[in-house]
Amino acid sequence: MAWQHLQQFAAATAYLQKGLSRGRLAHAYLFTGEQMEPLEAFGRTLAKAVNCENPPRRSESGLGLDSCDACLSCRKIDGAKHPDMHWLRAESKMRQIRTEQMTELLRTVFLKPNEARYKVCFIVAAERMNAQAANKFLKTLEEPPADSLLLLLSTAPEQVIETIRSRCQRIQLFNTDGVDATPGDLAWLEQFGVAAASDQGGLLDRYRLLSVLLRQLAELKSSIAERLESESMLEKVDDLEPEFRKRLEDELAASTEAEYRRQRAELLGTLQWWLRDVWLQTMGRADEHLRFPQLQTATAAIARRLDPDRAVGNLTEVERTLRLLNTNVQEALALEVGLLKLRL
């Protein structure tokens, strides 16, 4: 499966290919998303691209930007028969990746590839590494081997220890195939689209867009807090012990923040999908199924002002903002910088 067959991840693909085109291949990536199967497909496609014998596109440094899906290397990787592709999965009764498994994997990592340009190690459900396995793997991340690529796949990245996350280039995959946008999604996105279409490139115009986004996020956080608070024991029992009440309050605050972060990522993912519609139209592919046909007027207005490269740049900018929001950066600042860099 080449990148062209993973159009649902167009933004992540564009971001990754931009780095590859500059000869920048990270030694370790953390691919995150809601389902493991597409994460594995995405990782496998990267492995094929950098090892393809006849890539349809190649960077100046020689790195493949896509795979041909036909050469011997691509077919071996697809068929799980390539000697330089190593998969690590949880196998114990506790559903953990054990130290013994990690030791065996790392033993092969430092060996030269048999026939591939890059030996690739896939760690499926990376959050399942036990403490000993994670610490052993961390030492390898600190001194990564040459000619090897480490791909961590996780549907629960917050459970991967921070020292590992910080040493990987994180790429978040959003896949909303088959999921209809809610009326609320369409309402705020339509407001955003209309404001973007009337954007004349001025600073004030861009801050109007930021205002639309921040207002939606504030409403989102408020609704989450109200819902979780109404479900909490704090609202149902009056005579709680002070210590127990404090613990419940802390748990409620943590749950609210976690749910808000999840839904914030989904909201920005919706924006990403609309910018994908803009990108499709810049390439004259308006006849293809658009994610948001209801926003056709605003989509077309912006597409007329852009070329495909700038439209792809918008997708990668949202991807970069999403990754930044997974750090301790101030939310408003990250969103402000991201919106100022959009080409509209």
Say if strands 148-154 and 169-172 run parallel, antiparallel, or are unpaired. Answer: unpaired
Instruction: Please choose, from the candidates 221, 218, 230, 232, the residue with its C-alpha nearest in 3D space to the C-alpha of residue 256.
Output: 221
Residue written as tokens 């088959």? 178
Q: What percent of the chain has pLDDT over 70?
A: 92
Say how far apart CA 296 and CA 277 lie, in whole Å.
9
Residues 86 and 148: their CA atoms lie apart, in Å, by 11
| Residues 339, 344: Cα–Cα separation, whole Å | 10
Q: Taking 70 as the threshold, does the pLDDT of residue 126 lie above it?
A: yes
Tell me the CA distances in angstroms from 204 to 69, 79, 175, one per residue in order: 48, 54, 33
Once rounded to an integer, what is the mean pLDDT over residues 143-161? 88
Question: Could you tell me how many helices (H) and strands (E) the chain has, helices first?
Answer: 12, 5
Question: Exposed e or buried b for every residue in 96-127, given b needs 16+ CB within 10 A?
Answer: bbbbebbeebbeebeeebeebbbbbbbbbbbb
DSSP-derived letter for residue 97 is: B
Confidence of residue 259 (pLDDT cuts 50, 70, 90): confident
Break the chain into its structural domains and give their ranges. Answer: 3-172, 183-215+256-341
Average pLDDT, the chain: 84
Main-chain dihedrals φ then ψ at residue 173, nearest 5 degrees:
-105, 125
Residue 68: phi, psi to the nearest 5? -85, -20
CA-nearest of 262, 273, 265, 263 to 322 is 265
Q: Report the CATH fold assignment for 183-215+256-341.
A: Zinc Finger, Delta Prime; domain 3 (1.20.272)
Q: Each residue of 63-74: pLDDT tens digit? A: 888 888 899 999
pTM, two decimal places: 0.61
> In this predicted model, which residue has the larger pLDDT, 18 or 53?
53
Q: Which residues pair with 32 in a beta bridge?
A: 154, 172
Q: Read off the pLDDT of residues 43-86 as tens digits, 9 standing for 90 and up.
A: 999 999 999 999 887 777 778 888 888 999 999 999 889 999 99
- pLDDT above 60: residue 176: no
Contact 20, 59 (CB under 8 A): yes
What is the three-class DSSP state of 81? Answer: coil
CATH number (3.30.300.90, 3.40.50.300, 3.20.20.70, 1.10.260.40) of 3-172 reads 3.40.50.300
